[in-house]
Structure 1
Amino acid sequence: MVWLAWIIASRLREPRDVPWWSEALWVVLAAQAMVFWWTGLYRGLWRFASLPDLWNIARAALFGTLAITLGMFLFSRLEGVSRGVLFLYPLILLVLLGAPRLIYRYWKDSRYGGPSRSGERRVLILGAGRAGETLLRELKRENRLRPVGFLDDNRALRGSRIHGVPVLGGIDRVGELAREVAAEMLLIAIPGASNQQMQRVVELCEGSGLPFRTVPRLRDVVEGRSSFSELKEVAIEDLLGREPVELDWSAIRLALSGKRVLVTGGGGSIGSELCRQVARLGVERLTILEQSEYNLYRIEQELRAAFPDVLIDCLLGDAGDAASVDHALSTARPQLVFHAAAYKHVPLLQPQVREAVRNNVLATQVLALACLRHKVECFLLVSSDKAVNPANVMGATKRWAEIVCQALAGEGETRFVTVRFGNVLDSAGSVVPLFREQIRRGGPVTVTHPEITRYFMTIPEACQLILQAMTLGEGGELFALDMGEPVRIRYLAEQMILLTGKVPDHDVPIVYTGLRPGEKLFEEIFHAQESYEHTRHPKIWLAQGRPLPRAALDAALHQARQASLRFDEVELRRLLSDWVPEYRPEAESQVVSLHRSA
């Protein structure tokens, strides 16, 4: 093609006197070949030729012309070479190299990816940006669905065509335009949409009465959880999950890379995701302490398959067993310990104060003291927003665990850091899987109170912010994660029902059962006495700890241990209310009855 482009350009300038071959052509071929190799043109795949390939060809033709000019000057001082030839040559070469690639690409798409006219499903694509254009090409190539139009709120795109498919109008006209073009399905191709934008789009899609799917969020594609061409049902996380959080990955990677890490409760929802995040960041050794045999087996199989280069030790044991903890620390010699093992189910723990104190408080003390003895660099306690003004046993025990860690800060070489956050979407035992199962059975969906609200975040985001807080802590800090705006549980239930294509209170009833013992209408992030301040990260707040008498705390923990051995739950409740004054077990029934009457 280089030879042909040079001959055509030369004959256009001098039709009669141009030979088919000359010594100067060796210079042309050699110079252009070196430029082709330098620009990577030989590595392109014709099957996927597109505008970037044409740009690369144009760049290669331009730089090739410059190289030819230099070569001709050195070879013959440009004798007999017309400037018109040097002007025409790159244009002709662009056509000769670009046209065959695009023709081949068109032929392949038409042969293997063109729409079938029989039995195909007509779809509207919501979003005419880069994601929509990429989705259109994937649909044409895979011959799955037939795109009949785009909808986009950008007025400048109205009336334009993308690969022959017209942009029909704004997304707010989806119901009207879908009927006009006889669309049978809607595809949402707005991976960068905020949650408020996504809620609006989903409401419009639900109003159209058509089934709809979406492409994955950008962060899911980047983190390898989804492929871009994968169409999926809109999940509740797409509507309630918060905006992507910018993290200081350099600081996190520096704090974790090459380190030895231990995670307690590593088979649970938070613990398992912490293990994934930690392994992904290149730790030297990851040790998991978990008392559930099945959960330990499951996370071990997943991590060994996904991270074969990471040394992984899986230990079956209780974080409250001093012998088990000492064995784990002496064997693994961790530098960082993430304590995610805890009982967290509020109604289940209400009548079982002994198990709650033993697992959430006494186990934290056992592990924390062992970390001091083994000179662990950092101990991070995963806490809960239910520890603020707790109205239940679970929250009170998590607050007491926070007190234990704050009291031990400064005792030795270990940095004690506490991180407090709210509900995690789709975690084990949470409301999302419960609602999902109730909807699958046809209802009813049970909500305790019409006005009850909770803070929500996704599991990956919670764990990433935990890792970020670990890099901020110098010892004794209590960090709280910015949970955004609280969500009404009623809204959560309604949206989950709508996302299955059913109508709340028509196809699936919603029943209000009343607040359960220990349940509050709303959760808080900080106590009134914990004046809080900003940190270097905008989504992480620092609470000022309250003064703690260490000797009295040790004595109370000893009493709690003895009461636990005697199974004296009355004494345990007394100790719990002494150390967490906001918790009043005798007032629980009164609070519940007041909430119910409200």
Structure 2
Amino acid sequence: MDASVLAIEALIRREEQLFHPEQVRPSIVGKTVLITGAAGSIGSELCRQLLRLDPDCLLLLDHSEHGIYCLHQALQSLESETTLVPLIADVRDKARMIVICQAYQPDIICHVAAYKHVPLMESQPDEAVRNNIGGTLNLLEVATDQEIRSFVLVSTDKAVQPVGIMGATKRVAELLVSAFREQTGYPYLSVRFGNVLQSNGSVIPRFLAQIEAGGPVTITDRRMLRYFMTVREATQLILKALSFSDQADLFVSDMGTPVKIIDLARALIDQKAAGESIKIVETGIRPGERLEEVYLTADEFVKKQIVEGLFIGQNITLPLEELMDFIEQLTTSPPDQLKKILLSFVNNYH
């Protein structure tokens, strides 16, 4: 079963909010764009959207050899004069990031690469810190040193008053972006996603596989609510935010009202197994999860909706020196203490 053939609007309970790519062409045309995590579901769709805007060069960076090979092959089949450069690299390797940026001199960095699976990161907090915080810091330092003036971090609504490791590491990454923006004067920014329906590891593929197997469909808690967006909405949020980067450092999409996970499961069963008896079983909330997410705190109040479907928030800015001291503390702390240290730090700032 392919999620692409689903009635998406019936699942997210609203119309998909898309815009014409020509609106953001001036921000992209003729530029060299580096996309980290390019082989993932969001990164690969972002590459396809970017190709329509005639960049001079796309730098496709991922640590997955197979993923980059497949992406490169797929993009080469599209009609485009854009140069495509496949790069096998890890954002945690700062020396490699320096070499790549010196060689290709990107104008824009779209930092999509991240560890995003909540329960997995709960059990491996040191890896989440190294990748989500360390990788972001590496790229920001390289971007600053090489005067790369455009940088966008893909973040998550789980970074808002986080309760788990993944969200907390992404919150620190957001704070780093704001601190580097303040220090350099470059319009660096973060975008916050809700749950992306068709992304790798999302609930949709898992529910579909369970339905195909005859059930049961497993949910954690029937009360759980989540904001959802499509992969096209997610990638277009990145592009729209880049066009307004001079106005703010934090952008979110209008994702309507949150959807109950149990309602999503029922809608999928109705679409794919109408008339069949598919049970829904609750398994309990997992570590690092909560019943409901928000995408902005009261202190990050939404200033205005600058274009349809796009809100800007006011992020707090901490001194870069304070953040660097905190990151140094993380690198010297035992893994079993990282969650406590992270949550204490990020939830002291609203």
* TM-score clears 0.5: yes
Given that residues 381 and 402 in structure 1 are in contact (C-alpha distance below 8 angstroms), is that contact kept between their aligned partners in structure 2? yes
Which has the larger Rg?
Answer: 1
CA distance in 2, matches of 1:485, 1:405: 28
Q: CA deviation at 1:234?
A: 5.7
Q: CA deviation at 1:250?
A: 4.0
Question: Are 2:101 and 1:329 equivalent residues in the alignment?
Answer: yes
CA distance in 1, matches of 2:247, 2:10: 36
Q: Provide Cα deviations, 1:124-171, integer angstroms capped at 9, x if missing partner.
A: xxxxxxxxxxxxxxxxxxxxxxxxxxxxxxxxxxxxxxxxxxxxxxxx
Which of 324, 342, 354 is the aligned partner of 2:126? Answer: 354
Question: Are 2:89 and 1:317 equivalent residues in the alignment?
Answer: yes
Matching residue of 1:533 = 303
Q: CA deviation at 1:465?
A: 1.8
Given that residues 560 and 572 in structure 1 are in contact (C-alpha distance below 8 angstroms), is that contact kept between their aligned partners in structure 2? yes
Matching residue of 2:336 = 570
CA distance in 1, matches of 2:73, 2:196: 24
Question: Are 2:249 and 1:477 equivalent residues in the alignment?
Answer: yes
Given that residues 280 and 307 in structure 1 are in contact (C-alpha distance below 8 angstroms), is that contact kept between their aligned partners in structure 2? no
Which of 136, 157, 168 is the aligned partner of 1:385? Answer: 157
CA distance in 2, matches of 1:514, 1:267: 32
Q: Does 543-552 or 250-259 show the bigger shift? A: 543-552
Q: CA RMSD in A?
A: 2.0
Which of 307, 326, 334 is the aligned partner of 1:556? Answer: 326
Q: Provide Cα deviations, 1:354-393, integer angstroms capped at 9, x if missing partner.
A: 0111111111001011001111120000000011121111
CA distance in 2, matches of 1:557, 1:501: 49
CA distance in 1, matches of 2:103, 2:248: 27
Q: Does 529-538 or 361-370 show the bigger shift? A: 529-538
Equivalent residue pairs, number: 346
Which of 160, 171, 174 is the aligned partner of 1:402? Answer: 174
Any gaps of 5 or more consecutive residues in structure 1? 1-231, 584-598
Report the AA paired with residue 539 of structure 1: G
Matches within 5 A, 1:372-521: 372-412=144-184, 414-474=186-246, 477-503=249-275, 507-521=277-291
Report the AA paired with residue 253 of structure 1: R
Q: CA deviation at 1:238?
A: 4.0
Q: CA deviation at 1:497?
A: 1.2
Given that residues 425 and 432 in structure 1 are in contact (C-alpha distance below 8 angstroms), is that contact kept between their aligned partners in structure 2? yes
Q: CA deviation at 1:574?
A: 4.1
Question: Are 2:240 and 1:240 equivalent residues in the alignment?
Answer: no
1:464 alignment partner, SS class: helix
Q: CA deviation at 1:405?
A: 0.7
Matching residue of 2:347 = 581
Q: CA deviation at 1:476?
A: 5.7
Q: CA deviation at 1:452?
A: 0.9
Comparing both chains, which one has the higher relative contact order based on Cα–Cα distances under 8 Å and sequence gaps of 6 or more? 2
Given that residues 150 and 186 in structure 2 are in contact (C-alpha distance below 8 angstroms), is that contact kept between their aligned partners in structure 1? yes
Q: CA deviation at 1:308?
A: 4.4
Q: CA deviation at 1:265?
A: 0.2
1:410 alignment partner, SS class: helix
CA distance in 1, matches of 2:106, 2:153: 15
CA distance in 2, matches of 1:582, 1:552: 13
Q: CA deviation at 1:244?
A: 4.1
CA distance in 1, matches of 2:16, 2:268: 22
* Between structures 1 and 2, the one with greater helix share: 1
Closer, same or farther: CA 271–582 of 1 in aligned 2, 3 Å: farther
Matching residue of 2:312 = 542
Closer, same or farther: CA 536–520 of 1 in aligned 2, 3 Å: same
Matching residue of 1:22 = none
Matching residue of 1:25 = none
1:409 alignment partner, SS class: helix
Any gaps of 5 or more consecutive residues in structure 2? none
Report the AA paired with residue 529 of structure 1: D
Matching residue of 1:303 = 75
TM-score (norm 2): 0.93
CA distance in 2, matches of 1:551, 1:578: 18
Report the AA paired with residue 336 of structure 2: V
CA distance in 2, matches of 1:496, 1:272: 25
Closer, same or farther: CA 474–514 of 1 in aligned 2, 3 Å: same
CA distance in 2, matches of 1:476, 1:369: 20
CA distance in 2, matches of 1:494, 1:357: 36
Given that residues 526 and 543 in structure 1 are in contact (C-alpha distance below 8 angstroms), is that contact kept between their aligned partners in structure 2? yes
Q: CA deviation at 1:306?
A: 1.0
Q: Provide Cα deviations, 1:88-128, integer angstroms capped at 9, x if missing partner.
A: xxxxxxxxxxxxxxxxxxxxxxxxxxxxxxxxxxxxxxxxx
1:262 alignment partner, SS class: strand
Report the AA paired with residue 343 of structure 2: S
Q: CA deviation at 1:545?
A: 1.8
